[in-house]
Structure 1
Amino acid sequence: MCADINVDVLVIGAGPTGLGAAKRLHQLNGPSWLIIDSNEKAGGLASTDVTPEGFLYDVGGHVIFSHYKYFDDCIDEALPKEDDWYTHQRISYVRYKGLWVPYPFQNNISMLPKEDQVEALDGLIDASLEVRVANTKPKDFDEWIMRMTGAGIANMFMRPYNYKVWAVPTTKMQCQWLGERVAAPDVKNVVKNVVLNKVAGNWGPNATFRFPARDGTGGIWIAVANTLPDEKKRFGKKGEVTKVDATKKVVTLKDGTTIGYEKLISTMNVDQLVESMGNQELVTLSKGLFYSSTHVIGVGLRGARPERIGDKCWLYFPEDNCPFYRATIFSNYSPYNQPQADVKLPTIQIANGSKPTSTEPKEGPYWSIMLEVSQSSMKPVDEANLLKDCIQGLINTEMIKPEDEIVSTYHRKFDHGYPTPTLEREGVLKQLLPKLQDLDIYSRGRFGSWRYEVGNQDHSFMLGVEAADHIVNGAVELTLNYPDFVNTRQNTERRLDQGPLAAKRNGTSLPSRSK
């Protein structure tokens, strides 16, 4: 190879997927490798920003819950001390008609006004009767919603909320991605809870979760990167990719350095990867993939955390009285996610938009809210006024009061926020990913493999680990190819207990996809 640097395996991107690949390659101690990233610090879409005032905000809502022992072991190695972590029980609600309805909404219609309870139950009964006679699979997400919940819950919550999240109508999304992410209601228990006026228990794989004590989610990945040798990392300007020559197997960096490789693990957005390759066939193919952008808004406030907020973790907003679909009480995750109480900060505005009577710096305490807003060609956003609209939305939903003192604000747009599971997605991926692999390019990660159902931090990390194992040992990439299997809750305790080499091509039977 005629390049400045030559390695057996080049890893592009130091987010969870790239770090998973690098970590495994380092452990295998076989092929030569290098990891590069255009950012100065590791983390990618799991990084954390800090405002000038000292408030931390993740790139969207991230918490640690895991399907894999290998993942657990790696992050515990990186942050090994007991006081490196906080463990939380999820406390989540849906804001609906001025009420806080416990999550998931569809299991807790006992909390709704009576007329809405009747409408929801009518829909659930109709849906349960229709499902009994249905002889085809739902053709899209909207049809799945109607079969699972009926028209009442669909119109109250599922349709409006999912449009706010995905920025596309539910009729344009497939439903194979759902797995453990959406709770299908148990009609008998729902009716029983309505009659007895009871709340359903916690649901889902993230009912209990961990969060790092310091440095936010990004601190995890900086710590993981620190377990890798410095000479195998090129971050910042010296790691920015401008061109991928798949024929010569050479990557060109912005500073002019060329890196030759035998195998490439790329965590770049796959649509941008194929553009950097200049492969028009793959560029055309990638245009069948759809994504939404994510705006992350942070609001730092002076004062003790209000009783109305309590220990809430994250909250859902299906209604149109606020632009955000989710709010996270980020200060509840760690006391180090905001400045300490003795730090003096000026008030920059009153929540209602008026100027403060004084801008003299004052002590805290402080608390913070992180908001997420989606945007796409099907759901435009007034970006110039979004921060102001979000603060008004917080007042509208009684998250904050008009007279509250705001001491810090944050707004950052992430162009690639959610890889949308559209109806066309699988048809594109089943062509695009194998064509890249035929060129010895393993496109993996949240936007590398474009499968949201395996896009959590643990999934993303293992996509990299398993790609490395496949390259070196021919191991099966379970997470990429069998998302239903790794997400099935009864398989959670499996967690690859025998390590990432447990499943090999030679002799191990593969799990079948859920039907």
Structure 2
Amino acid sequence: MASLLSSITGKHQPPPADDRELNVDVLVIGAGPTGLGAAKRLNQLDTASWLIVDSNETPGGLASTDVTPEGFLYDVGGHVIFSHYKYFDDCLDEALPNDSDWYHHQRVSYVRCKKLWVPYPFQNNISLLPQDDKVSCMNGMIDAALECRVANTKPKNFDEWIVRMMGQGIADLFMRPYNFKVWAVPTTKMQCEWLGERVAAPDLKTVTKNIILNKPAPNWGPNATFRFPAEGGTGGIWIAVAKTLPKERTRFGDSGCVDVVSAEKKEVIMKDGTTVKYKKLINTMAIDSLVNKMGNQELISWTKDLFYSTTHVIGVGIRGARPERIGDKCWLYFPEDDCPFYRATIFSNYSPNNQPQPSDKLPTLQLANGSAATSDEAKEGPYWSLMFEVSESSMKPVDVENLLKDTIKGAVNTELIRPEDEIVSTYHRAFDHGYPTPTLERDGALKKLLPKLKELDIWSRGRFGSWKYEVGNQDHSFMLGVEAVDNILNGATELTLNYPDFVNSRANTERRLVDGVQQLRLA
């Protein structure tokens, strides 16, 4: 990499903000977690000139937060902070350094099934199901265990993995319907290489013991504990991270909106007419959007094999004290068809600042049963809130016009809210690129797209920049940006992109980055 390093010039000169032509060594497109991770690393190393641009005035991307006129906060879907990386933790602690900046939570999560709240993960807690369903699930698990002992081939898709690991009973009762509601594609069209530690494989002996003893299984997974910012929702984290960067190296809003990407000329033309010339480009916008801005027909054709779903986020603000039935629940899963949403988050439980103060006066918009409020008088709280997620795709259309109404009805059906509850605020926003779907065709497309872009000195990284859901959490996304910089400047291996199973494994308890060299400390 010596030739690359020697080619970088003007490393300490930030680009002038008012020039119509800018020259930088590294241009970063997008100020979500991945772009901010790249910018943090570039700023820390201080060996190359750089610029980060984003068309939004506020950084955060798909980890941002909206605020309703009434003062309710809603994230772009269900985000919480848990981490596989010390570097990530250190950057967040630098941005929000005080104990008062965070709330720490134990995950309390359930699956709504057969009008019961079954603790998450469902497959480890079938002891709480009705007798007939216990028998069906246990029979399936026994058949699956016997099949696994003699199977000499790997599952061909996610559906085969589910049946082989959990059996037909759990597949039919929970895994198939729930995953279709999440991904908006059938499980038969998804691969299983992405799974890692995201789906708990049940242990037959433990499940049998829990059934006999009639007890739930303990918490499982990397997010069994998590932290959440006291102010500003998840988006507040990334606003704080962006504030640690030199302002003169950021262009947000209209001046940061990318119009054309010319890989041949190594320049990006912004919508305000500014041309940014670069040596290396780190792209974090969706890869299909990138290649469209490049106008490269071959790359565009390859993106046709990438599938994604749209995420509808619906928020409902309610007057009243948090009900006992809600308690300290965090997020809840819904596999059944009595509601359109696959997940609901008790967003008011994460921070008392996610909703208006009890003394704030708000009028009632409607009752949960759809009837009109008896009065339009503004009254005090307290208040609490629910945040719902609904997926949409060409294989799973959504009645968008009635989605808010159907969501509120579903919340009543599932006993999250009562028919007489007073709704004081509603929110609905669709995010076109919500989930990068790990379809059967995905890896074939990425094996062509990502290396070809890199040949053009474009590192496309991030939740949709590299299209790998298995490394699409906030910590993963941030480190994809950090590691792209280390690869550009020092030739370091991009572990998160290339070895997701390793970075997600429990053996990988800590990762440190020191002077651009990756150090691994294994448990």
- Same fold by TM-score greater than 0.5: yes
Secondary structure of 1:320's aligned partner: coil
Question: Who is 1:96 aligned against?
Answer: 113
Secondary structure of 2:163's aligned partner: helix
Question: Who is 1:381 aligned against?
Answer: 398
Question: Who is 2:225 aligned against?
Answer: 208
Residue 3 of structure 1: how far off its partner (Å)? 7.0
Task: Give the letter aligned to residue 483 of structure 1.
Answer: P
User: How many equivalent pairs are there?
Assistant: 505
Question: Contact 2:45 / 2:515 at 8 angstroms: preserved in 1?
Answer: no
Distance in 2 separating the partners of 1:78 and 1:180 = 29
Task: Give the letter aligned to residue 222 of structure 2.
Answer: P
| Residues 1:500 and 1:177: Cα distance change in structure 2 (over 3 Å) | farther
Question: Who is 1:83 aligned against?
Answer: 100
Distance in 2 separating the partners of 1:47 and 1:240 = 18
Secondary structure of 1:489's aligned partner: coil
Question: Who is 1:55 aligned against?
Answer: 72
Distance in 1 separating the partners of 2:160 and 2:24 = 49
Secondary structure of 2:285's aligned partner: coil
Could you give the per-residue CA deviations for residues 231-284 of structure 1, whole angstroms, max 9, x where no partner exists? 000000010001000000010011111100000000010001000000000000
Could you give the per-residue CA deviations for residues 25-65 of structure 1, whole angstroms, max 9, x where no partner exists? 00001110000000001100000000000000000000000
Q: Is the aligned partner of 1:298 residue 2:306?
A: no
Distance in 2 separating the partners of 1:499 and 1:217 = 27
Secondary structure of 1:180's aligned partner: coil
Secondary structure of 1:503's aligned partner: strand
Could you give the per-residue CA deviations for residues 92-137 of structure 1, whole angstroms, max 9, x where no partner exists? 0000011000000000000000010000000000000000000011
Question: Contact 1:459 / 1:479 at 8 angstroms: preserved in 2?
Answer: yes
CA RMSD after TM alignment: 1.4
Distance in 1 separating the partners of 2:80 and 2:280 = 32
Residue 489 of structure 1: how far off its partner (Å)? 1.2
**TM-score normalised by length of structure 1:** 0.97
Specify which of 235, 243, 248 is matched with residue 231 of structure 1: 248
Question: Who is 1:503 aligned against?
Answer: 518
Distance in 2 separating the partners of 1:62 and 1:499 = 28
Residue 347 of structure 1: how far off its partner (Å)? 0.2
Q: Is the aligned partner of 1:405 residue 2:433?
A: no
Q: Is the aligned partner of 1:361 residue 2:378?
A: yes
Specify which of 241, 247, 251 is matched with residue 258 of structure 2: 241
Secondary structure of 1:158's aligned partner: helix
Question: Who is 1:109 aligned against?
Answer: 126
Question: Contact 2:339 / 2:407 at 8 angstroms: preserved in 1?
Answer: yes
Structure 2 gap ranges (5+): 1-8, 10-18
Identity %: 75
Secondary structure of 2:201's aligned partner: coil
Residue 499 of structure 1: how far off its partner (Å)? 3.8
Question: Contact 1:3 / 1:250 at 8 angstroms: preserved in 2?
Answer: no
| Residues 1:102 and 1:499: Cα distance change in structure 2 (over 3 Å) | farther
Structure 1 gap ranges (5+): none
Task: Give the letter aligned to residue 174 of structure 2.
Answer: F
Question: Contact 2:45 / 2:516 at 8 angstroms: preserved in 1?
Answer: no
Task: Give the letter aligned to residue 351 of structure 1.
Answer: A
Counterparts of 1:2-151 in structure 2 under 5 Å? 4-151=21-168
Counterparts of 1:204-353 in structure 2 under 5 Å? 204-353=221-370
Distance in 2 separating the partners of 1:484 and 1:325 = 26
Residue 498 of structure 1: how far off its partner (Å)? 4.8
Question: Contact 1:18 / 1:35 at 8 angstroms: preserved in 2?
Answer: yes
Task: Give the letter aligned to residue 372 of structure 2.
Answer: K
Secondary structure of 1:86's aligned partner: strand
Secondary structure of 2:512's aligned partner: coil
Residue 502 of structure 1: how far off its partner (Å)? 3.5
Task: Give the letter aligned to residue 437 of structure 2.
Answer: T
Distance in 2 separating the partners of 1:158 and 1:71 = 32
Distance in 2 separating the partners of 1:480 and 1:29 = 24
Distance in 1 separating the partners of 2:115 and 2:151 = 37
Q: Is the aligned partner of 1:178 residue 2:195?
A: yes
Task: Give the letter aligned to residue 357 of structure 2.
Answer: Q
Question: Contact 1:18 / 1:464 at 8 angstroms: preserved in 2?
Answer: yes
Task: Give the letter aligned to residue 143 of structure 1.
Answer: E
**TM-score normalised by length of structure 2:** 0.95
